[in-house]
Amino acid sequence: MKKIYTLFAAAALITACSAPEKKVEEVNNYQFFGDTISAEGVIKSSELYTSVAQTGKANGKLEGVVASVCQKKGCWMQVALDNGDTVRVSFKDYGFFMPKDIAGKTVIIDGFAFNDTTTIDMLRHYAEDAGQSPEEIAKITTPEITTSFEAHGVILK
């Protein structure tokens, strides 16, 4: 009986520690990550930023070009928007990751934007994930207040 409980405990631990892989769908040369979303209803980044400035948070769908991706797991990306700004995109509950080789490709992200303070430690962590040198990382000495985006679905064109 003790062996059965040990077996169940081991199986539960393995299941709990492994992140679920979300299936990546491909339709008409588009890849869908996370929740399947539509390409319709994309708004200008200025509209989203106005809503964030007024309420602190705003839902929306944006289109932009991937500037960079976390090179360790693909767990975040920087997306250049239509107004020239770049927004850091994370993924809801780390439920999916993006391919690490998509810089320069166009994406549509669906989720919500919010104002966020990124600590020095987190900025250094992101710099390390992006492959920056120890000298570049050491130059990070102040936190950043930025608009961030949490996506529940991404279309990679």
Q: What 8-state DSSP symbol labels residue 32?
A: E
pLDDT for residue 129? 86
Domain regions of the chain by residue span: 23-156
- Asked whether residue 3 carries a pLDDT value surpassing 50, the answer given is no
CA trace torsion 55, 66, 25, 35 (10° rounding): -10
* Residue-wise pLDDT tens digits, 112-148: 999 989 899 999 998 998 889 999 999 999 999 888 9
* Residue-wise pLDDT tens digits, 64-86: 999 999 999 999 999 998 888 89
CATH top class, domain 23-156: mainly beta
Q: Which helix (H) or strand (E) holds 116?
A: strand 106-118
Confidence at 56, pLDDT banded by 50, 70, 90: confident
pTM of the model as a whole? 0.75
Average pLDDT score, the chain: 84
Confidence at 106, pLDDT banded by 50, 70, 90: very high
